[in-house]
Chains A and B, each alone.
Chain A
Amino acid sequence: MAINKEKNTYTVIFAALMVVVVGSVLAYLASALRERIRENERFEKQQNILYAMGVNQNDGPGAVSFIPTDRVEVEFGNYIKEQLVIEGDQITRDDEAYLIDMKKQLDVLKNGGTPKLPVFIGEKDGKKYHIVPMYGKGLWDAIWGFIALDDKMVVQGVYFDHKGETPGLGANIKARYFMDDFTGETIMDGTEYAGISVAKGNNDPVNENKEDNEVDALAGATITGNGVSAMIKKTVTLYKGYLETLRNKG
């Protein structure tokens, strides 16, 4: 071949062309699929929120099973009675509150601003649920979830998810046996908003003690577990004002 592949010009041209080709392919793909992906993410959020308040298709012990995507929009409207946004002392209704990105709001808080904190009020079989989103850090990357509380600050259900925790270890925070342990635990320690800790040595593997603010940890996933504890603690502190009014009312 006539082209000298060892020359710098060839290398630079090759690299430039490669970047253009790969860049356009990925850009095209991203914009072509954006709408579908957004929609999937929206459904997922609705599924997660409903899951936390116990609206799911879990069948006996075993796998996590959501309301199917083709029904979730309708069910979300049926079960979630109100969506509120807390901004400082102001509480407003906003039917798109579930689309608020907690990560961005926590950044606002860190920069000294007033974050917009969403709360979802669900109702099932005449019982009221207050569902708040959580966002934190695991071992490798972000973790997030939703926690559903009643008026007495007892956990009615949780949902956790993660971006990149280790499969088989930290990734198990989204397993049924881990999430189910939180149900029935209280986030209060007396009048303190203590949250719930993921504890290694709590001597309560079956989780019979619901007053100890602790659930049993996952073996081999200490840092992810600590991340979950910190995330819950941060969330209850953040929502303290709102929860306090609830508690005094109820």
Chain B
Amino acid sequence: MALLSKKDSNLILDPLADNNPITIQVLGICSALAITAELNASIVMALSVIFVLGLGNVVISLMRNIIPSKIRIIVQLVVVATLVIIVDQVLKAFAYELSKTLAVFVGLIITNCIIMGRFEAFALGNGPWRSFLDGIGNAAGYGLILIIVGFFRELLGSGTLLGFPVLGDPIAKTGLYAIGYENNGFMLLSPMALIVVGIIIWVQRTRNPALVEEN
């Protein structure tokens, strides 16, 4: 007996690959461009979104039968903003250092279109447990792309990973730099995130032609 039924486990696994929010649904691109210059920031953002989307989906799902449809978008915004503020305040009081690290992500989480998108498309029509799985799955799919993009941008742009120099020292000319390698500063700028996402989409669709839309 598996822990999750096949239908339920697909809720988590689908968004990781064939229904990825970034590469297939093209949601959440804005934050994928903005904060992936470093692997560290990508990981923090991925974890925050997993937390907020998992919890938010459950809350919206529990309220789904009482939310008036006319103001449902506002209700969704209030729910996600409240969750984020509560987390922010509690961290500020009990884990101040961590809250400093996360402070810059707060605005980016509230406005992340994947969160609103999953509330609207899934949590409003499904029960809490399935909504929770869907939230975790989609946020993980989003986080996965963020981490891949962050990995390449930091490696090629700064020659470091998580802040540790892995290719040698560019100023003292050691490691790869000794044989004339240079960091590509262009990788640090947002357009290159778009190109990396584009390459991921290309690779993904080449491996699975079923994903290519008919014209």
Task: Say whether A associates with B.
Answer: yes
In the complex, are the beta carbons of A166 and B69 less than 8 A apart? no
- Whether B104 pairs with A167 at a CB distance below 8 angstroms is yes
Give the residues from 86 to 135 in chain B that come closer than 8 angstroms, CB to CB, to chain A.
86, 89-90, 92-94, 96, 100, 103-105, 107
A109 at the interface (CB under 8 A from B): no
A1 and B65 alpha carbons, distance in the complex (Å) = 10
Known A37-B89, A37-B93, A167-B41; contact A22-B36, beta-carbon cutoff 8 A? no
CB-CB under 8 A from B107, the residues of chain A are 164
B35 at interface (Cβ–Cβ under 8 A)? yes
The answer to whether A10 touches B68 (Cβ under 8 A) is yes
Return the CB mask of B157-199 against A: 1 if under 8 Å, else 0: 1000001000000010000000000000100111000000000
- List the one stretch of B1-9, B13-21, B70-78, B137-145 in contact with chain A: B70-78
| Cβ of A57 under 8 Å from chain B | no
Interface residue count on the B side (C-beta < 8 Å): 42
Consensus secondary structure, chain B interface: helix
A-B interface pairs (CB < 8 A), number: 95
CA distance A166 to B42 in the complex (A): 12
B203: A residues at CB distance < 8 A:
none
Give the distance in Å from the alpha carbon of A163 to the alpha carbon of B101 in the complex.
10
- Do B41 and A205 touch across chains, with their CB atoms under 8 A apart? no
Q: Which residues of B contact A166 (CB under 8 A)?
A: 34-35, 37, 104
Task: Report yes or no: B188 in contact with A220, Cβ–Cβ below 8 A.
Answer: yes
- B69:A167 contact, CB within 8 angstroms: no
CB of A77 to closest CB in B, whole Å:
21
User: How many angstroms from the CA of A36 to the CA of B150 in the assembled complex?
Assistant: 35
In the complex with contacts A11-B71, A220-B189, A40-B90 CB distance below 8 A: no
Residues of B within 8 A of A (CB): 34-38, 40-41, 44-45, 65-71, 74-75, 78, 82, 85-86, 89-90, 92-94, 96, 100, 103-105, 107, 150, 154, 157, 163, 171, 185, 188-190
Query: 8 closest Cβ contacts across the A-B interface?
Result: A168-B37, A167-B41, A168-B38, A36-B93, A33-B93, A40-B96, A220-B188, A11-B68
